[in-house]
């Protein structure tokens, strides 16, 4: 048969056959030559093969494990998801849930406290509703600089949630993403527009006094002051109040006679 009369498919099959036969013949020839080669040549070839296998085995798992970096959308949804687990509603301890919630707050698991924007209508004793529909009584532990912090009894069983880092205003950057879940449960996105003496100004809408704003990592950058849409009470103000509360408690415990 004339090779020029072969079709494209037949030519491809013929090429595969030739390559297969050539590789088999090469393998047989290599093994035959190694059988008659001096010992040091065989040892050298074996070492090269073993080193090649080890290198491939070390590189392959790293390539398999590597995963693409999370997208901006993934970061946003994860941060809002973390923020949602820390949303708290404050009710009057007297009337309970028979009346509407008095305010919205943010649960700080590591401090065993709920922080919200100060308001004259908020009593000293409240009932806190958590996202998992559990209710725990709380008492006002500290107040100042537009913030009210409610603490729980030592025996109170609180839900689990990821504790956020409280980001100081000095560590924020203009244009940094600000995320929030409003009092009505809707998500909002904005940016840090300005850092002033009154607080952190963002492009967030009115999310409700006491609602938290977080960064892309889900860390707390502040809570809504309520009076001006987008204006946040910085997280370091909350941190300072928590530190003052802890210091006062420690001083009281030390000075109390046994």
Q: Decide: pTM greater than 0.85.
A: no
Q: What is the DSSP letter of 114?
A: E
Instruction: Provide the 3-class DSSP secondary structure of residue 76.
Output: helix
In the chain, where are the structural domains located? 85-151
Angle at 238 between CA 255 and CA 85, to 5 degrees: 115
CA-based R_g, the chain, Å: 33
256 has a pLDDT exceeding 80: no
What are 189-213's pLDDT values in tens digits? 999 999 999 999 999 999 999 999 9
252 has a pLDDT exceeding 60: no
185 has a pLDDT exceeding 80: yes
For the 85-151 domain, the top CATH level (class) is mainly beta
């Amino acid at each position: 048969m004339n090779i020029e009369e072969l079709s494209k498919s037949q030519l491809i099959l013929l090429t595969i056959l030739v390559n297969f036969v050539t590789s088999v013949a090469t393998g047989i020839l290599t093994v035959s030559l190694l059988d008659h080669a001096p010992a040091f040549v065989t040892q050298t070839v074996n070492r090269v093969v073993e080193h090649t296998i080890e290198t491939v085995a070390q590189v392959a798992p790293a390539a398999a494990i590597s995963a693409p970096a999370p997208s901006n959308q993934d970061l946003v949804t994860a941060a809002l998801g973390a923020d949602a687990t820390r949303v708290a509603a404050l009710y009057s301890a007297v009337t309970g849930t028979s009346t509407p919630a008095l305010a919205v707050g943010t649960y700080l698991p590591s401090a065993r406290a709920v922080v919200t924007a100060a308001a004259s209508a908020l009593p000293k004793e409240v009932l806190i509703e958590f996202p998992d529909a559990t209710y725990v009584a709380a008492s006002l532990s500290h107040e100042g600089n537009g913030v009210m912090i409610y603490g729980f009894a030592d025996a109170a069983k609180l839900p689990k949630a990821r504790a956020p880092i409280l980001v100081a205003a000095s560590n924020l950057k203009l244009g940094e993403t600000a995320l929030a879940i409003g009092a009505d449960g809707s998500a909002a996105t904005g940016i840090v527009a300005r850092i002033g003496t009154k607080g952190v100004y963002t492009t967030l809408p009115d999310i409700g006094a006491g609602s938290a704003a977080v960064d892309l990592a889900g860390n707390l950058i502040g809570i809504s002051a309520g009076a001006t849409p987008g204006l946040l009470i910085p997280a370091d103000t909350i941190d300072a109040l928590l530190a003052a509360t802890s210091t006062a408690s420690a001083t009281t415990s030390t000075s109390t006679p046994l």
